[in-house]
Amino acid sequence: MRNNATLKKISDHLNVSISTVSRALKDHPDVSPDTKKRVKELAMLMDYEPNAFAVNLRKKHSNVFAIIVPEISNFFYHSFVQAVEEDARRIGYSVMILQSMNDPEVEEQNLRLCRHNHVAGIFVSITNRTTDIAPFKKLEAIDIPLVFFDKVPTDDTFNKVSIADYESGWMAAEHLLTAPAKHVLLVMGNNKLSITRRREEGFTDYYHKHQCKKKLAVVYADHIEEARQAVLDYFAANKNTPTAIFSMSDEIMCGVLKAIHTLNLQIPKDIQLLTISNGFLPTLFTPDISFVKTSGYDLGKLSFVRMQEIMGGKKFVRENFLTSSYYPGGSM
Amino acid sequence: MRNNATLKKISDHLNVSISTVSRALKDHPDVSPDTKKRVKELAMLMDYEPNAFAVNLRKKHSNVFAIIVPEISNFFYHSFVQAVEEDARRIGYSVMILQSMNDPEVEEQNLRLCRHNHVAGIFVSITNRTTDIAPFKKLEAIDIPLVFFDKVPTDDTFNKVSIADYESGWMAAEHLLTAPAKHVLLVMGNNKLSITRRREEGFTDYYHKHQCKKKLAVVYADHIEEARQAVLDYFAANKNTPTAIFSMSDEIMCGVLKAIHTLNLQIPKDIQLLTISNGFLPTLFTPDISFVKTSGYDLGKLSFVRMQEIMGGKKFVRENFLTSSYYPGGSM
DNA sequence: AACATTTCCACAAACGTTTGCAGTCATCGC
DNA sequence: GCGATGACTGCAAACGTTTGTGGAAATGTT
């Protein structure tokens, strides 16, 4: 028993033309109040719903936004998604979430899906290993607006919205370097990403500018397990060294904590820890982990504003930054 | 500069008909090897991509699956999504993720989106407060296959795939009741959900069957903060009472842990804790939280099998269950 | 009464694809 | 040399919608 209510069927029942039905349903001034009423009633009765395929074919674009992220298992993205969904809903659009599994190939498949479905716009946080920007260029060629957020490519012909990474690294240093430990370990993500480089730069610039005498080490990790291993390796080489650790993300922090637990070290006695986070995970531990807050929600709101600007025709490329602030916990 | 490669344009360039181009591109035996070659080459050159709207309009359905979950911030769902994505990709389908934000109204909006886009199939884990199943019935009326997973409605005209909840509750009791504490606290989710009722039933059945003498209390919570408050309330009424706590999910566990941290209680000395989990979160803490494992990944695989059966025409309704197993940590 | 305007509606083209059907050749068997 | 077969290819309808255009009444203006 298929749902077959269509403009044609309604028009047949009412002895009016298809176009009249179409216009009646969208309150076009050309149709009389009386027919409007009749059409709407019958449409309601027949449970009419416009066929999105036909509408989109005609209009050449759909009204759903896509969000492409490396992995949805990231608290930062949850609030981002929520913010975008709120705003999208407000203007009658929907949001579909696609994850690239940190695989450029999957990412490209997702982009293809977006192209085929002529999505209204795409918010994308790129993969650690994304190097080919051609698929993104392709999107712009067919006028699908693109906003990069959080993990953005270095290419600067794109619209990007990101955390003020340099500043948050700087802020992290500002607080972490007050910790007693004489050693400092930076556990960073993939060092090809601008997000990583800028956070590290912010941190080390503060470090050098204040002529900090602590011994500084930096390690890079692509995911939890690598972060854990990196920290284990560090402590294998620096046994019993009180160290202040800077973790640049939730994911990294999880790895760091696993290592710390493995080594049975105490926070904040043996180790001081400060991370950059959206704020959820750090509060789950004892003591709370101190963090520099980066709001995925705010980033989502900002990204959406950019998206609407682009959709509205503002074509100039821009990069926006979002400031962050410090939330002291008990890990320092 | 729009990407306009279309069958018509290709046909114009090659002086053949649209239909020939269409058939050539899909290796229809009716068209000669020579024209096939020419068409394919030009199509490649022009970067032709079929217009999904037109294809779908013609075929009356798209090739994307939808997954609707209350919230994506749930580790259990991540692996579920991953499993489904893997299998979908394998048969050339895509997956879109929609979250209902635990709001039945948003859930219905998402269902509407699925209907309008004539999605190939829907995997849905319902909201805590979903009572109206009419929108789901509507989906079936237009032949969109539906598989409920994890949080499933009680109505048994639907296809459902879920954790063997009773069994996992039973298993949890089996292990938790060996803990030294004389008091047992069950922190459960929304008690209208069958998942909650069955897990609780499994637990209490074991409890009664073994004539357990420990003092049993049960509280319900809809989200993290409620869980935290419930535990705080419990300990306000039972000061310094060594208690073994059963948490029925990751989310609940987070709330429980927050309360435990607030009260400065020690695990496993003062409190023993056992949760049901997908396995990620429990390992982030020290000591590791013991858990009964429910595999989202396996559930995803199973759900997909069901989905394909339904799509293949097997119409009979069934409910599948997935067994779980115990992973000891250091929290007991 | 003649003409202009408004109100309401229908026609038809277009969006890009798929597919049943029919048509045009050339080749083959006899 | 005639019908039959087979290999290609094109025509046209259909999917359901939107929208520019034009036309027939009804109303208004002088």
Per-residue model confidence (pLDDT) at position A256:
95
Instruction: Report the Cα A67 to chain-centroid distance in Å.
Output: 7
Residue A329 token pair: 């916990």
Is the torsion defined by CA of A315, A321, A322, A323 positive or negative?
Answer: negative
**pLDDT bracket for residue A1 (50, 70, 90):** very low
Nearest to A187 by CA among A175, A205, A172, A167: A172
DSSP line for B147-211: EEESS--S-TTS-EEEE-HHHHHHHHHHHHTTSS-SEEEEEES-TTSHHHHHHHHHHHHHHHHTT
B57 vs A contacts (CB less than 8 Å): 51, 53-54, 57
What would you report as the CA-atom Rg of chain B, rounded to the nearest whole angstrom? 26
Over the stretch A198-255, which tens digit does the pLDDT of each residue have? 999 999 999 999 999 999 999 999 989 999 999 999 999 998 899 999 999 999 999 9
Question: Which chain D nucleotides are covered by protein, judged by CB under 7 A?
Answer: 7-12, 14-20, 22
Residues B147/B307, Cβ–Cβ less than 8 Å: yes
**pLDDT bracket for residue A275 (50, 70, 90):** very high
User: What SS3 class is residue B29?
Assistant: coil
Mean pLDDT of A39-65: 91
Residue A287 token pair: 């003591």
Per-residue model confidence (pLDDT) at position A3:
58
Q: Most confidently modeled of A17-26, A67-76, B279-288?
A: A17-26
Cβ <8 Å between B110 and A116: no
**What are the backbone dihedrals phi and psi of residue B114, each rounded to the nearest 5 degrees, phi first?**
-65, -40
Mean pLDDT of A47-68: 91
Over the stretch A132-155, which tens digit does the pLDDT of each residue have? 999 999 888 888 999 999 988 888
Amino acid of residue B57: L
Per-residue model confidence (pLDDT) at position A73:
82
Which of A89, A102, A286, A289 would you mutate first to test chain B, the one with the most B CBs within 10 A? A286
Percent of chain A with pLDDT over 70: 99
Smallest Cα distance from A32 to chain B, Å: 28
Mean pLDDT of A302-325: 89
Q: Could you list the pLDDT tens digit for every one of the 332 residues in chain B?
A: 345 789 999 998 889 999 999 999 998 888 888 899 999 999 998 889 899 999 999 988 888 899 999 988 888 898 999 999 999 988 888 888 889 998 999 999 999 889 888 899 999 999 988 889 999 998 888 889 999 999 888 888 999 999 999 999 999 999 999 999 999 999 999 988 888 999 999 999 999 999 999 999 999 999 899 999 999 999 999 988 999 999 999 999 999 998 998 898 988 899 999 999 999 899 888 888 999 999 999 999 999 999 999 988 777 788 899 999 999 999 88
CA dist B257 and B278 (Å) reads: 17
Interacting residues of A187 by C-beta distance below 8 A, sequence separation 6+: A219, A221, A227, A230, A231, A245, A246, A247, A248, A252, A255, A256
User: What SS3 class is residue A218?
Assistant: strand
Per-residue model confidence (pLDDT) at position B1:
37
DSSP line for A36-70: HHHHHHHHHHHT----HHHHHHHHSS-SEEEEEES
Whole-number Å distance, CA A38 to C1' D22?
25
Per-residue model confidence (pLDDT) at position A327:
96
Residue A106 token pair: 């999957």
Whole-number Å distance, CA A218 to C1' C14?
61
Cβ <8 Å between B118 and A52: yes
Which of B49, B69, B73 would you mutate first to test chain A, the one with the most A CBs within 10 A? B73
Residues contacting nucleic strand C by the 7 Å CB criterion are A 15-20, 29-35, 54, 57-58, 60; B 4, 6-8, 18-19, 22-23, 25-26, 30, 48-51, 53-55, 57-59
Domains of chain B: 7-50 (no CATH), 62-162+296-323 (3.40.50.2300), 165-295 (3.40.50.2300)
Cβ <8 Å between B99 and A85: yes
Q: What is the DSSP letter of B282?
A: G
Whole-number Å distance, CA A87 to C1' C10?
39
For A3, which of B3, B54, B142 is closest by C-beta distance?
B142
Per-residue model confidence (pLDDT) at position A142:
83
**What are the backbone dihedrals phi and psi of residue B256, each rounded to the nearest 5 degrees, phi first?**
-60, -45
Cis peptide before B29 (omega within 30 of 0): no
Over the stretch A153-193, which tens digit does the pLDDT of each residue have? 888 899 999 999 999 999 999 999 999 999 999 999 998 88
Nearest to B94 by CA among A254, A111, A26: A111
Q: How far apart are the first and last CA of chain B?
A: 65
Cβ <8 Å between B285 and A283: no
Q: Which residues lie across from A243 on neighbouring strands?
A: A183, A271
Q: What is the DSSP letter of A201?
A: H
Per-residue model confidence (pLDDT) at position B143:
84
